């Protein structure tokens, strides 16, 4: 086994490859009596790692084969990144990948019988037929988790190298590779090595149909995103308007709608705008479409971070990559806080009009602006009725709307958010309406 993994060409230096290295060492030293104690120690450490991995990601069945599959779907190399979303044609890269896949086929078929007998590991059957519990597996969404387990079974059953290769290429084309392929959304963090893009593993599965009303704003967002994902020209988007009207929910829903077509979102905060160039450098050559998402975007008069954003959107020497757009939400139409002083022509600035125009120029760099306004009373009641019906709340309509009106008066006024909070309150069984 050690000789085999040492001959890998494309698939080397796995991020989670310690178990593979350890199992190769164990296979090599299994028949050496002097190493019996060390073999046993390392083997049980590997078992621990496999079970921990299964718990973190929700894997089941043959944990050895699922582990190997996990390595394959997460390894970013010149072949896998060429395959993501687009697939791959015949060529030298494919032949080199086939060489590595031949080695992995041998790893998939490794017979643990001798190892089990020598170490008297009677529990090993549990690792080959592992049953997960529902409380495990928080780092992948269920669809990705199940697809990796399915791919593991397909690779184990592949009778030829061609079939094994076809399964891998199909997975890379459908899901991509590594963290950018297997996750929908990300945030930015600083590490010792610099700016790191980290997955967000718990994303609300919001659909656009869940947002009652706002059909025109939603359609504008869909049209722009559809053009972007399809490879046509698209614009940066600013969603502005009243609080609680579904701006952020709409962007989450857009992600869920277009994730299967290669859309990903990276959330970035105002204090991280100086990292934008580093983030873009990491994603600009990948085959995904990225939305850099800025929630509740606004600037006070003394803040200058908006200048970083202006340069990235439009104005720097380097052209913004075609696979990146910026979507922002804000309660302010013009993003930058303005005061009456901005309208006083001679308040400490001989060129006050130029100053105001500099502030307003940020909004103009969003090619599409979409307004989300608070609903009126009739629209609010329609939202409540629709959400109540979807949630299975059975109350007389008059009683439901009367309670909703009382709720909104005490909880923030007319908005979709207030309506949803009211429905959640009813579902929690806390209301005594009669």
Question: H-helix or E-strand containing 369?
Answer: strand 368-372
Beta bridge partners of residue 299, listed in sequence order: 336
Query: For 92-110, what is each residue's pLDDT tens digit?
Result: 999 999 999 999 999 999 8
pTM (two decimals): 0.81
Which residue positions in the chain have pLDDT lower than 50? 340, 345-346, 350-351, 431, 433-434
Question: What is the rounded CA–CA span in Å between residue 212 and residue 423?
Answer: 13
Between the alpha carbon of residue 3 and those of residues 46, 75, 103, the distances in Å are: 19, 20, 10
3-state SS, residue 12: coil
Torsion angle in degrees (nearest 10) through CA of 45, 47, 50, 51:
-110
Query: pLDDT digit string (tens) for 186-195?
Result: 999 988 888 9
Which of 359, 181, 385, 164 lies closest to 264 in space, CA to CA? 181
Question: Which pLDDT score is estimated for 351?
Answer: 45
What does each C-alpha distance from 195 to 78, 166, 342 come to in angstroms? 22, 35, 37
Looking up tokens 């190892």 gives 115
Which of 153, 251, 238, 262 is CA-nearest to residue 204? 251
CB 319 within 8 A of CB 286: no
Q: How far is residue 434's CA from residue 418's CA, in Å, rounded to a whole number?
A: 21
CA 399, 400, 405, 408 dihedral sign is: positive
Q: Under DSSP, is residue 151 helix (H, G, I), strand (E, B) or coil? A: helix
pLDDT at 13: 93
In the prediction, which pLDDT does 114 show?
A: 80
State the sign of the Cα–Cα–Cα–Cα dihedral 350, 356, 361, 362: positive
Q: What is the pLDDT of residue 271?
A: 83
Beta partners for 200?
A: 185
Enumerate the β-bridge partners of residue 371: 240
Long-range contact pairs involving 199-203 (C-beta distance under 8 Å, separation at least 24): 199/139, 200/267, 201/138, 201/139, 201/140, 201/141, 202/138, 203/141, 203/252, 203/255, 203/256
Q: Which residue has the tokens 């120690």?
A: 41
d(CA 226, CA 224): 6
DSSP 8-state symbol, 336: B
Lookup result for tokens 């949803």: 420
Q: Which two tokens stand for residue 134?
A: 């529902």
The conformation of residue 321, written as its DSSP 8-state character, comes to: P
């Amino acid at each position: 086994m050690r000789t085999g993994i040492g001959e890998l060409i494309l698939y080397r230096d796995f991020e989670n490859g310690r178990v593979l290295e350890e199992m190769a060492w164990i296979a090599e030293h299994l028949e050496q009596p002097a190493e019996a104690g060390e073999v046993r120690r390392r083997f049980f450490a590997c078992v621990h790692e496999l079970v921990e991995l299964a718990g973190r990601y929700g894997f089941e069945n043959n944990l050895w084969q699922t582990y190997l599959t996990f390595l394959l779907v997460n390894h970013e190399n010149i072949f896998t990144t060429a395959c993501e979303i687009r697939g791959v044609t015949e060529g030298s890269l494919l032949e080199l990948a086939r060489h590595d896949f031949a080695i992995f086929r041998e790893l998939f078929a490794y017979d643990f019988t001798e190892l089990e007998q020598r170490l008297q590991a009677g529990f090993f059957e549990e690792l080959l037929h592992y049953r997960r519990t529902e409380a495990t597996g928080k780092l992948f969404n269920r669809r990705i988790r199940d697809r990796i387990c399915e791919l593991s079974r397909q690779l184990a059953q592949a009778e030829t190298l061609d079939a094994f290769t076809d399964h891998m290429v199909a997975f890379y084309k459908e899901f991509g590779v590594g963290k950018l392929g297997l996750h929908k959304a990300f945030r930015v963090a600083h590490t010792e090595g610099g700016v790191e893009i980290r997955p967000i593993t718990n994303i609300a599965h919001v659909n656009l149909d869940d947002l009652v009303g706002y059909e025109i704003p939603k359609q504008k967002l869909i049209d722009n995103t559809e053009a972007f994902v399809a490879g046509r020209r698209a614009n940066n988007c600013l969603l502005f308007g009243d609080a609680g009207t579904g701006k952020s929910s709409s962007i989450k829903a857009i992600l869920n709608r277009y994730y299967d077509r290669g859309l990903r979102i990276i959330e970035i905060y105002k204090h991280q705008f100086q990292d934008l160039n580093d983030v873009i450098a990491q994603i600009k050559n990948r085959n995904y479409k990225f939305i850099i998402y800025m929630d509740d975007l606004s600037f006070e008069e003394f803040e200058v971070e908006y200048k970083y954003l202006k340069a990235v959107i439009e104005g720097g020497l380097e052209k913004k990559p075609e696979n990146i757009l910026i979507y922002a939400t804000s309660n302010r139409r013009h993003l930058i806080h303005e005061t009456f002083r901005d309208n006083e022509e001679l308040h400490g600035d001989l060129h006050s009009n130029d100053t105001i125009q500099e502030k307003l120029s940020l909004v103009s760099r969003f090619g599409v602006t979409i307004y989300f306004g608070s609903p009126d009373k009739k629209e609010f009641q329609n939202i409540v009725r629709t959400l109540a019906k979807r949630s299975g709340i059975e109350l007389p309509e008059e009683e439901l709307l009367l309670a909703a009106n009382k709720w909104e008066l005490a909880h923030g006024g007319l908005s979709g958010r207030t309506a949803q909070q009211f429905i959640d309150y009813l579902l929690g069984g806390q209301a005594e309406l009669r």
